[in-house]
Structure 1
């Protein structure tokens, strides 16, 4: 089981940048797998709390049913376009993949299922300081932090 706390301990500066991207906007996108194996994307809100990444699913929501059947997920931060002429200031986008672990019920609002993330991969995609190359940094529990640059 790999928690957000583990990512922060292994790669603190990288984890800070990823978390800032997730915290910058309320709504994110969650990908799950339907019963027939087809992908489903849904809007979702997430919380980083006490070293855990958590999210909920409203009662009878399809994403909750998907996650109970097959816990694999991919979570994407909100994406904003780079400002023309200021591309080097674009913060990029972040992604987290893993397995959703049931963690009880949502206690606020209409209720539903609460999940915490067992993280298998974290990615931050951004531009280099000159805004001439795409930079992809990713972290996995098995290998740690890696980085590539592309034209």
Structure 2
């Protein structure tokens, strides 16, 4: 009896340990979502995050929403004619089995018409809309001006 109980406990703990390693299969995961604090009176802010597509289907982020801003949009930044420029985009593609990184000087989420400044140490509610995975609501951490997002 003791031997069976020991074996059952071992199998359970081994299963839990293996489940906590790596990303769950079959899920679209949103990780490391962050925004930098904004100065008083700044009208806009930006959100960065990582999306891991562990599903068997390609997907795309098609919109975002937050109660903290009048408008939330998907944008990209890049160099054009020797100048850094930002422009709206319709979506961010996340191929099956791949990772999309929304980061400074690349694709990101813009918060326009902030209702209040983004303060370090607070969290921002954000709802992401994916074409296939549907709606996911997350909390975005706000970091200080000189803090690293990692």
TM-score normalised according to structure 2 size: 0.28
TM-score normalised according to structure 1 size: 0.28
Q: Which has the higher contact order (CA 8 A, sep 6+)?
A: 2
Question: Of Structure 1 and Structure 2, which has the larger fraction of its residues in strand?
Answer: 2
Question: Of Structure 1 and Structure 2, which has the larger fraction of its residues in helix?
Answer: 1
Q: Larger radius of gyration, structure 1 or 2?
A: 2
